[in-house]
Structure 1
Amino acid sequence: MKIGIVGCGGIALGYAAFLVKNGHQAVVWSPSGESARSLIGQEITASGALEGSFRIQVVGSVRELVSEAEVVIIAVPGYGHRAVIEAVVPFAREGQSFIVSAQLSLSGVYLKHSLTARGIESNVMAWATTVLMSRRTGPTSIAIGGIRQMLEVAALPGAAGAKCLDLCRTLFGDRFRIVPDILAIALGNLNPPIHMASALCNFTRIEKGEYWANYDGITPSVARLVEALDKERLSLAKAYGVTVRTVQEHYRLTFGFEEGHSIAEMAAMVHKQRQGPPGPTTLDTRFVTEDVPFGIVPLVELAARRDVPLPLHQAGTQLFCALYGRDFSKENDLLKVLPWKSIVASSESDSAELTLPE
């Protein structure tokens, strides 16, 4: 299959390498154009959980990417979702499939309804997290820190769940399970709270540019904060009537651990066995600039609409606003275009339909 990938960061190129290795054709487009220049006419060299050299196609326009692809994967940071969705949708074709990896701030809902508004009937798949953990280590090289054993996917429309699940497995293997509600994906992304705890508790290392290993930074005390944040997230999911994995299940399913280990123990084992990626060494890190406005702030918004207290999530957001001297709660450009009344109503009735606001 010919797969168009929006983005040229570590995750996007990791997907391209994975797909090529498994017999598919991968085409990438960089919204900025800058990150793609070094890839033109070159092979990607992957190391880590996936090794080898892979040739991919680089295109210079979104029109070229979308018009030729059978499946389009959006693999850019959350702060780029609205812009790339609005760039992609005008060139979408009937019957194309779209994957949002990973969905943040209900961007899958915005994509589906933007397509519907154009009269395009297409299936949208929203992933709770990424299939793999990858980062660019050079102009044409990536390091893949791991490939997840299991992750959740929601389909829009829900009736296309079986077909969407088959497609995800065709592309990336038998590592997906379908969930019936898009809110289960929105409330099931563990990266934002985990990253919030890690970044807050290792903040001076980040600001001073010191090397630190990500999983080594999840000490027992940091793990307790992660678990406390998780309790708040689970209470919010319960209020919306959806079932999501716990943070313990997330670590076990991601790394293949047996039951019975604490978060701190599993983090220590990941560090010992795999080292894992380094922690961020600059304030311009997605742990904060992406995960706070597009991961934490939407949870606070959902909580406010059901009167569910999230004191740690709110406090963390306020602390980062103070540390950075900026208001992260205002940096999310998706919140104001999401159909909130219908989203909330859909959690109360299986027959409720989401509609775009006029």
Structure 2
Amino acid sequence: MTEPGHLRVGIAGTGAIALASAAWLRQAGHGVMLWSPGGQGAEALRTQPLEAVGVQPCRVAVEVADTAAQLCGASDVLLIALPVNGHRRVMDALLPFLRDGQTVIVSSMASLSSLYLHEGARRAGKRVTVASFGTTVLTARRESATQVRVMTRRQAVGVSTLPSTEIESAIALCTVLFGGGFFAQENTLASALANVNPQSHGPLAVFNWTRIEHAENWPQYHCMTPGVSRAIEALDLERRAVAQAFGIALGPIEAHFARSFGTASARLEDIAAELHAKRGGPPGPVRTDTRYVSEDMPYGLAFVEALGRIAGVPTPATRTIVDAASLVNGIDYRQQNDLLAPLGLADETVAGLLARL
């Protein structure tokens, strides 16, 4: 299935980013095998082609793995492409079958899930490279079990590696797989904090909660009003202050939008209006278990809170949004992060954490 000079890529996950990545990689000539950690997500692709619509339309055949062992054994490179609330479970499943010299790409990484994988592999005596994307290369929406809509190929994507000495090789590998636009980030913590989804999704969900509960069709950027934008900016300032305490300089959220989507406006509320005029969407979530709260609260905003406690940086705006989401949904999102405890962050120091990276 793999063409000469191309790679065999094993993808853990069958959601929008997994299917979009599979179609993109297969069209580029790479071999692709999908594994559904839940067991059923890839069944239709055993007998039907994967169809991508949007920015790079194609119909391609992909392979389907029955187990984590089969996925690891058949792949040169592994891509973990699923929500971060599934990272620990999937990483635990993959760990026994990783091979020395393999690269695992985590797309996208949050809450230092890549550090969890790398330290687990090292304890098992395995030499692997774990590459982290601060955000996904593609934006996409899963239309069905065999169809995905690829909406954007981001113009620039940051990459970090564990160990850090493998960064040049990882960027070269990512370029072979996805094309250009990859740049090195300082370390894995920089990749985690570079992802602005929690800062943008959190206030957007909290302040549009009735729309979510009523399952309304609401355009996200149109509803990123001046007030919501002001709240997002407050969370972004705290994200950058926490990063600075760890010696990491991050640009503002406005620069992220410009880099990812080519926006020209300076103010966040104007960027939102520009994107709404340009794209007309995407629509906001219509389920109360949306990843905007189930993923971005515990693994994004609560993680920033935890780092703030380590570094002595106050994060009152972040705390307010996590409190509001927990209150309105009846879930303590700080208790939903299954990575903080095994990573031992409660007892960590700034210097200690940086030394692990």
TM-score bracket for this pair, using the shorter chain length: over 0.9
Q: Deviations over 1:62-96 (max 9, x none)?
A: 11111110000111111100000000010000100
Match of 1:281 in 2: 286
Match of 2:260 in 1: 254
Choose the corresponding residue for 1:294, options 299, 305, 323: 299
Work out whether 1:122 is the aligned partner of 2:142. Answer: no
- What is the letter of the counterpart of residue 130 of structure 1? T
Choose the corresponding residue for 1:102, options 102, 105, 108: 108
Q: Any conservation in 2 of the 1:342–1:353 contact (CA below 8 Å)?
A: no
Match of 2:77 in 1: 71
SS in 1 for 2:161: strand
Q: Deviations over 1:266-322 (max 9, x none)?
A: 222222222232110110200110110111111100001111111011111111111
Deviates more, 1:314-323 or 1:336-345: 336-345
Match of 2:4 in 1: none
SS in 2 for 1:76: coil
Work out whether 1:215 is the aligned partner of 2:187. Answer: no
* Cα distance in 2, alignment partners of residues 344 and 9 from structure 1: 35
Deviates more, 1:269-278 or 1:303-312: 269-278
Structure 2 gaps, min length 5:
1-6
Deviates more, 1:179-188 or 1:10-19: 179-188
SS in 1 for 2:41: helix
- What is the letter of the counterpart of residue 153 of structure 1? V
Match of 1:226 in 2: 232
Match of 2:56 in 1: 50
- Judging changes above 3 Å, is the alpha-carbon distance between structure 1 residues 353 and 210 closer, same or farther for their aligned structure 2 residues? closer
- Judging changes above 3 Å, is the alpha-carbon distance between structure 1 residues 20 and 188 closer, same or farther for their aligned structure 2 residues? same
Choose the corresponding residue for 2:189, options 179, 183, 192: 183
Work out whether 1:267 is the aligned partner of 2:266. Answer: no
Q: Any conservation in 2 of the 1:145–1:277 contact (CA below 8 Å)?
A: no
Amino-acid identity (%) = 37
* Cα distance in 2, alignment partners of residues 353 and 267 from structure 1: 38
> 1:60 deviation in Å?
1.3
- Judging changes above 3 Å, is the alpha-carbon distance between structure 1 residues 339 and 158 closer, same or farther for their aligned structure 2 residues? farther
> 1:343 deviation in Å?
6.8
* Cα distance in 1, alignment partners of residues 352 and 132 from structure 2: 16
Q: Any conservation in 2 of the 1:241–1:347 contact (CA below 8 Å)?
A: no
Match of 1:111 in 2: 117
Work out whether 1:238 is the aligned partner of 2:247. Answer: no
* Cα distance in 2, alignment partners of residues 198 and 145 from structure 1: 20
Q: Any conservation in 1 of the 2:53–2:150 contact (CA below 8 Å)?
A: yes
Work out whether 1:62 is the aligned partner of 2:65. Answer: no
- What is the letter of the counterpart of residue 173 of structure 1? G
* Cα distance in 2, alignment partners of residues 83 and 170 from structure 1: 29
Equivalence map 1:313-352=2 (5 Å): 313-340=318-345, 344-346=350-352, 352=355
What value does the CA root-mean-square deviation take over the aligned residues?
1.4
Q: Any conservation in 1 of the 2:263–2:274 contact (CA below 8 Å)?
A: no
Q: Any conservation in 1 of the 2:310–2:348 contact (CA below 8 Å)?
A: no
Q: Figure out how many residues of one structure are paired with residues of the other and give that number.
A: 350
* Cα distance in 2, alignment partners of residues 314 and 13 from structure 1: 34
Q: Any conservation in 2 of the 1:132–1:148 contact (CA below 8 Å)?
A: yes
- Judging changes above 3 Å, is the alpha-carbon distance between structure 1 residues 296 and 49 closer, same or farther for their aligned structure 2 residues? same
Match of 2:46 in 1: 40
Q: Any conservation in 2 of the 1:145–1:276 contact (CA below 8 Å)?
A: no
> 1:346 deviation in Å?
4.8
> 1:39 deviation in Å?
2.1
Q: Any conservation in 1 of the 2:110–2:299 contact (CA below 8 Å)?
A: yes
SS in 1 for 2:263: coil
Instruction: State the TM-score, normalizing by the size of structure 1.
Output: 0.94
Q: Any conservation in 2 of the 1:73–1:100 contact (CA below 8 Å)?
A: yes
